[in-house]
Structure 1
Amino acid sequence: MLTSADPDVIRALADPLRLQIVTLLARETLCTTHLVEETGAKQTNLSNHMKILREAGVVETEPCGRYTYYKLRTEALADLSEHFAALATSARIAAENKRACP
């Protein structure tokens, strides 16, 4: 049975910079300063993107003194992965099904 993918997560990951951020966070937990250095994005632009990722449930924050660290919420990515894996399985099974035209 196919479940529904969270459209907010899909939208959040559709932006190239946000996808780059997620890829970086898949390797390690990073603070805002690290993300600015790694992506070359301006602080305000990065903050806006991080807000979108937080609201979509893709990342979570961890305060550490004056810094905010970000890490991935792996369950959000796992849910999305499972959804697309189910779609791929369904597509393989349905590849030979062709509805006749009237």
Structure 2
Amino acid sequence: MFTTTPVTSPEIIAGFQALSEPLRLQILDLLKEQELCVCELRDRVSVSQSKLSFHLKILREANLARSRQEGRWVYYSLNLPQFLQLEQYLAQLRENATMQPANQCSQDYS
């Protein structure tokens, strides 16, 4: 008998999708120590401004990073409550996993 999995919230989906890109993980790793402006991030990850902006936009849309403008500079920092939400999702998944053996297939796929 098949059971349906509840639909995961769009925030959870966006968070894990954002974490699936190595450059975005590198950006988050830099932000774990301090807030950084775009120019500092660009210099540290050695990518073009447009590529960096694209990835920062994804992190903001996933609510993993926050931005604030000060004069003509934009500063980025981690949004730690969103990371907690992802951690709680994983903890709940682990706690509720029953890991039953597979059922015998009734169709021949050869």
Report the equivalent of 1:29. Answer: 35
Report the equivalent of 1:98. Answer: 101
Report the equivalent of 2:73. Answer: 67
TM-score scaled to structure 1, two decimals?
0.83
- Number of residues of Structure 1 aligned to a counterpart in Structure 2: 98
Q: What do you get for the CA RMSD once the two structures are aligned?
A: 1.9
Q: CA deviation at 1:34?
A: 1.0
Q: CA deviation at 1:90?
A: 2.7
Which segments of 5 or more consecutive residues in structure 1 lack a partner in the other structure? none
- Give yes or no for contact 1:30–1:69 (8 Å, CA) kept in 2: yes
Name the structure, 1 or 2, with higher relative contact order (CA <8 Å, separation 6+): 1
Change (3 A) 1:85 1:64: same
Which segments of 5 or more consecutive residues in structure 2 lack a partner in the other structure? 1-5
Report the equivalent of 1:38. Answer: 44
State the identity %.
Answer: 33
- Of the two, which has the highest radius of gyration? 2
Point out 4+ residue stretches in structure 1 off by more than 6 angstroms.
Answer: none
**1:85 matched to 2:88:** no
TM-score scaled to structure 2, two decimals?
0.77
- Identify the structure with the greater helix proportion: 1
- Give yes or no for contact 1:4–1:83 (8 Å, CA) kept in 2: no
